[in-house]
Amino acid sequence: MIATIQYNSKKLKVDLSKPLDISIPLKGDKSNVNAWYLDHPTIAPEILDDKTISVEKGASVNFNTINFNPHAHGTHTETVGHITEKSYPVNKHLKQFFFLAEVITVAPEKYIKDNMISKKQIQFALGNKKRDALVVRTMPNIKDKKSRQYSHTNWTYFKKEAIELLVKKGINHLLVDLPSIDREEDGGELNSHKAFWNFNGKIRTDATITELIYVPNKVKDGTYLLNLQIAPFENDATPSKPVLYRIID
């Protein structure tokens, strides 16, 4: 289905029949993607009065309880409330859900024992384009990102200067295929998170970071319409389902 959408001052033609889902599903076993030193999530039937509430076990319905952490167990979107004493729930501060987004692919640079994304790389990939959202796919891009166990791996991260450039360019929504935009062990400094939300100035309460996405190789670099879907949790982070739609010239 081809639809014409008025977006700010532009009219965009998009094919709504071909969504490109860049989220990672949550599963209740060890094959689920994982970070931050937690055990895997669980999805299991509730037990009431010694009865397992599952159709397989003779109940009339399935009644599963899910235990997980949004930061550690899959695609999630977070606000500045992730790093502040004051609460900034995603459900209250993300008020729009469609954005003009640019997808870029970056091969991280080696820096001593780290892999990082630099300001120079972001500038080269984004150029002078004006976008609300940026989707970053890191190389190598292999399917094991959907089940990778990230704890103690010193994953790729963004240099503070790269994030400062994104803020300068007006990027309000950053989506990455990493557990964090900061180094796994940085002594709690969180320089890139703080830079993105302008933590030491006028805080960008409407800006979001979405982590642990997976952008399939069939999704080419370029401009898309992004639908950033979230679960309505009153929390600093919530499971999310970002979906891209190709823009038809």
> Which CATH number covers residue 10?
3.50.30.50
Pair 117, 159: CB distance under 8 Å: yes
H/E run at residue 7 = strand 2-7
- Give 178's contacts (C-beta < 8 A, 6+ positions apart): 138, 155, 156, 157, 211, 212
pLDDT tens for the chain, residues 1 to 249: 888 888 888 888 999 999 999 999 999 999 999 999 999 999 999 999 999 999 999 999 999 999 999 999 999 999 999 999 999 999 999 999 999 999 999 999 998 999 999 999 999 999 999 999 999 999 999 999 999 999 999 999 999 999 999 999 999 999 999 999 999 999 999 999 999 999 999 999 999 999 999 999 999 999 999 999 999 999 999 999 999 999 997
Asked if residue 133 is part of any domain, the answer here is yes
Q: Which of 19, 79, 1 is nearest to 225 (CA)?
A: 19
d(CA 10, CA 6): 6
**pLDDT confidence of residue 6:** 84
Summarize pLDDT for 3-25 with one digit per residue, the tens.
Answer: 888 888 888 899 999 999 999 99
Question: Looking at the 3D structure of the chain, how many domains does it have?
Answer: 1
- Give 168's contacts (C-beta < 8 A, 6+ positions apart): none
**pLDDT confidence of residue 89:** 98
**pLDDT confidence of residue 238:** 98
HSE toward the beta carbon, residue 207, CA cutoff 13 A: 20
User: What φ, ψ does residue 81 adopt, rounded to 5°?
Assistant: -60, -15
Helix, strand or coil, per DSSP, at residue 168: helix
Q: What are the C-alpha distances in Å from 73 to residues 156, 238, 248? A: 18, 11, 34
d(CA 213, CA 146): 8
Asked if residue 232 is part of any domain, the answer here is yes
Asked if residue 89 is part of any domain, the answer here is yes
**pLDDT confidence of residue 109:** 97
**pLDDT confidence of residue 180:** 98
**pLDDT confidence of residue 198:** 98
Could you list the residue range(s) of the whole structural domain that residue 97 is in?
2-40+69-248
**pLDDT confidence of residue 8:** 81
Give ∠ CA 174-177-179 in degrees, rounded to 5.
90
